[in-house]
Amino acid sequence: MLDIKLIRENPEMVKENIKKKFQDKKLPLVDEVIELDKRIRDLKVEGDNLRKERNTVSDEIGALFREKKVDEANKKKEEVTKINERITEIETEEEELQNSLKEKMYVIPQIIDDSVPIGEDDTKNVEIERFGEPVVPDYEIPYHADICEKFNGLDKESAGRTSGNGFYYLLGDIARLHEAMIAYARDFMINKGFTYCIPPFMIRSDVVNGVMSFEEMDAMMYKIENEDLYLIGTSEHSMIGKFKNQLIKEEELPIAYTGYSPCFRKEVGAHGIEERGLYRVHQFEKQEMIVLCKPEESMDWYNKMWSYTVEFFRSLDVPVRTLECCSGDLADLKVKSCDVEAWSPRQQKYYEVGSCSTLGEAQARRLGIKMKTEDGNKYVATLNNTVIASPRGLIAVLENNYQEDGSIKIPEVLRPYMGGKDVIK
C-alpha cells in the first residue's frame, strides 16, 4: 500500500507506474483516491471546528446557568444537540469513506524499482546470470515421477483416493532425501545468521490482507470453513504477521528469520495441477527467509538473500540461473523480484525453484509495522526469499544427480542427514 501523501502529491508518477505494470484499468483509482482523501480531510476540518464550537457553547451554557438565565441556557443546549448530531453524521460518513479509500489503496500497485525491466508478462523476464555448468548427460534422464516410483518412493494413486488430485505420498529413501534437503536448508540459513522459526500454519484474514494482494489470495489460499483462518501458502505470511502493529526499536533491526512450514495452495489458473508429477501440487514443504530492515538497507539485503539460494543449490550440485522479473510479472506489493531457476537435464531448460522479493514498506503499511527512531516512528521494509520449496527442489536434485546405472548420487552436504549414505540404489 502506498503512502497517501505520495498519491496526493505525485498522482502522475503513480499513474505512470500503473501503466508500466500494464494495469491501465486501475488508472481511474488514482483520481478516485485523491477525491476521497480530499473529502475525508474536509470532513475532519468540519468535525474539528464543530467540536471547538461545542466546547465554546458548553462554556456559555455553564455561564448562563450560573447567571440563572435558564431559558437562554436551554436554547444553547439545543444548539449543542444539533452540533452533536452533525458530528455523528460526519464520523459515520468519514468511517465509510475511509473504508472505501482503503479498498482502493489496496489495489494500487507498489512503485517498482527503476531497474525493473518493462514487460507485460513472464515471457519478458530477463536472465541475469548463470551459476554452474548446465550438463546434458549422454544417457537418458527419466521423468522425475518415474525415478521416484522406481525406488518405491512415490504414490499418487493412493493420495488420489485419500485426498484427490494434487496430493502425494513420498516413501522410503525418496522421502528421506526430501526431508534431508529441508533439514540442510534450515541449518544452512542458521549458519547465515538467521533465527530459526516454526510459525503458525494458519493465519487470520487481516494478516492475509496485510501480506498479499486480493488476486493472490483468491488464487492461492485455502479458507477454513466457518473460521476466520486460512492455511498458509508460505511461512513468510506468518513470520511477517508476527510483527503486526508492533513498534520495533531501530537498534533491533535488521530482523532475519528462516521459517519452516508445510504450504497449501489451490493453484488456480492456467498452469493447473500436474497429473503425474510433483512440480505443481496442492501441498509441499518449504524453508523460507524473511528480513525486516530499514528501507535504505533493503536493496543490500535483497542481493544477499537471492545469493543465498544460489549458493544453497550449487552446494547440491544443481546448476542455476537468476531471472529478473519484469514489471507485468510483479505482484502488486513488490518493488523488485527475481527468480532462481534450476537446470533440468531431462528437459534441457531451467525452471523456477525460488523467488526473492523486496516489498518496500507495502506490507509494513498494511500491517502497521514501524521502527522507533530519533526522528519519529517510520515504517520498516520487508523482504522474502525461498531457500527451498520441495518436492520441486527434490526434482532438481534427482535429475542432476541421476547416474547412468539408475542410482542417485547423494550430494555430499546431504549425507549427514541421510545416515551417511552416499547413493540411493
**Concatenated DSSP letters of 346-376:** TTTEEEEEEEEEE-TTHHHHHHT-EEEETTE
- What band does 268 get if pLDDT is binned at 50, 70 and 90? low
For residues 214 and 338, the answer to whether their CB atoms sit within 8 Å is no
- Domain chopping of the chain, boundaries: 4-107, 122-424
User: 400, 407, 377, 404: which is closest to 181 by C-alpha?
Assistant: 400
pLDDT at position 310: 98
Other C-beta atoms within 10 Å of 50: how many? Answer: 16
Cα dihedral 157, 162, 165, 171 in deg (nearest 10): -50
4-107 shares its CATH topology with 122-424:
no
Burial class (CB within 10 angstroms; exposed 0-12, middle 13-18, buried 19+) of 79: middle
- What band does 216 get if pLDDT is binned at 50, 70 and 90? confident
User: Higher model confidence: residue 59 or residue 415?
Assistant: 415
Separation of alpha carbons 232 and 315, rounded Å: 28
pLDDT at position 256: 98
Q: What is the mean pLDDT of the chain?
A: 94
Note the pLDDT tens digit of each residue in 301-349: 999 999 999 999 999 999 999 999 999 999 999 999 999 999 999 999 9
pLDDT at position 103: 92
C-alpha grid cell, residue 62 = 455553564
Note the pLDDT tens digit of each residue in 69-126: 888 888 888 888 999 999 999 999 999 999 999 999 999 999 999 999 999 999 999 9
Give the mean pLDDT of 184-201.
98
Pairing of the two strands 247-249 and 370-373: parallel
- What band does 62 get if pLDDT is binned at 50, 70 and 90? confident
Cα dihedral 145, 146, 148, 152 in deg (nearest 10): 120
Pairing of the two strands 336-344 and 349-358: antiparallel
pLDDT at position 271: 58
Separation of alpha carbons 370 and 376, rounded Å: 10
Note the pLDDT tens digit of each residue in 8-42: 999 999 999 999 999 999 999 999 999 999 999 99
Give the mean pLDDT of 278-287.
93
pLDDT at position 375: 87
Separation of alpha carbons 207 and 212, rounded Å: 9
Pairing of the two strands 320-324 and 283-293: unpaired
pLDDT at position 67: 85
The architecture of the domain spanning 122-424 is 2-Layer Sandwich (3.30)
Residues 6 or more apart whose CB falls under 8 angstroms from that of 206 comprise 244
For residues 198 and 261, the answer to whether their CB atoms sit within 8 Å is yes
Note the pLDDT tens digit of each residue in 365-400: 999 999 999 889 999 999 999 999 999 999 999 999
Q: What percent of the chain has pLDDT over 90?
A: 87
Give the mean pLDDT of 54-77.
87
C-alpha grid cell, residue 399 = 535429475
The architecture of the domain spanning 4-107 is Orthogonal Bundle (1.10)
pLDDT at position 313: 98
Ramachandran sector of residue 139 (left: φ over 0; alpha: ψ -120 to 50; beta: rest): beta
pLDDT at position 111: 96
pLDDT at position 394: 97
User: Higher model confidence: residue 221 or residue 239?
Assistant: 239
User: 177, 228, 220: which is closest to 204 by C-alpha?
Assistant: 228
pLDDT at position 33: 96
User: 296, 174, 304, 194: which is closest to 239 by C-alpha?
Assistant: 194
Separation of alpha carbons 10 and 6, rounded Å: 6
pLDDT at position 273: 64
pLDDT at position 269: 55
Separation of alpha carbons 294 and 372, rounded Å: 11
pLDDT at position 64: 84
